[in-house]
């Protein structure tokens, strides 16, 4: 198997089983919305702004053409994360757990130090996670909050059994939130807690995975 370097924050480490055929949701009932989650809209303009931030950051790099090519489904990936964050937040509220600003800052500082500094950390996340610098804290918050939610369920997301436990709980939450996605972006799969065939943003451990030390510029 081809070996890849582990990173302090990788938002697409594992995929669950392929989703079945999905039926389109009635997004036309919500003009201007990319999705409606528990009655709350995610505006198309909000999604476009998140995509634009990443594209601007990608264009500022020497490998811009390749990065853009590799993230052709960026709108779907960003919407997937936005919806997932709302599902995760509901699960966290129900479990009585949360994440403080200090926890996010401390986790980011550790991850950046392990990655060779803040600049290298940000560059790595842009390349591997399609994150602009302004989106890093939200991604770290997601990972830390997920760990706490998993703990509340008595699960460990670093194991297959723990992943399935968390998935089952998040599926219940997702179903209860009545998620309706604009068909132009696909449709939401409650069973897998993700948008269409996008990658799951949650089977990672930001606080436990660190980049392997490389002897040179590997």
pLDDT of residue 149: 96
Query: Of 197, 187, 180, nearest to 19 (Cα)?
Result: 197
Tokens of 170: 């998040």
Q: What is the maximal distance between C-alpha atoms in the chain?
A: 55
β-pairing, 188-189 vs 194-195, is antiparallel
Q: C-alpha distances in angstroms, 35 versus 134, 140, 177, 186, 207?
A: 22, 23, 12, 10, 31
Q: How many other β-carbons are positioned within 10 Å of the β-carbon of residue 178?
A: 13
Tokens of 132: 């602009």
Residue 199 has pLDDT above 80, yes or no: no
pTM: 0.80
60-78: average pLDDT:
96
């Amino acid at each position: 198997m081809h070996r890849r370097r582990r990173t302090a924050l990788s938002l697409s480490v594992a995929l669950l089983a392929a989703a079945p055929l999905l039926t389109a949701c009635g997004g036309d009932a919500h003009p201007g919305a990319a999705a409606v989650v528990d009655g709350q809209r995610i505006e198309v303009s909000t999604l476009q702004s998140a995509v634009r931030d990443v594209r601007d950051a990608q264009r500022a790099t020497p490998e811009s053409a390749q990065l853009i090519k590799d993230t052709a489904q960026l709108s779907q990936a960003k919407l997937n994360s936005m919806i997932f964050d709302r599902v995760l937040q509901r699960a966290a509220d129900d479990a009585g757990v949360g994440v403080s600003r200090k926890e996010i800052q401390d986790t980011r500082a550790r991850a950046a130090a392990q990655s060779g500094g803040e600049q290298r950390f940000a560059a790595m996340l842009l390349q591997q996670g399609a994150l602009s610098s302004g989106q890093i804290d939200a991604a770290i918050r997601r990972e830390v909050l997920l760990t706490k939610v998993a703990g509340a369920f008595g699960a460990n997301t670093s194991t297959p059994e723990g992943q399935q436990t968390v998935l089952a709980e998040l599926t219940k939450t997702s179903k209860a939130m009545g998620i309706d996605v604009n068909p132009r972006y696909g449709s939401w799969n409650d069973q897998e807690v993700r948008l269409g065939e996008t990658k799951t943003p949650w089977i990672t451990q930001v606080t436990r995975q660190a980049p392997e030390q490389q002897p040179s510029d590997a």
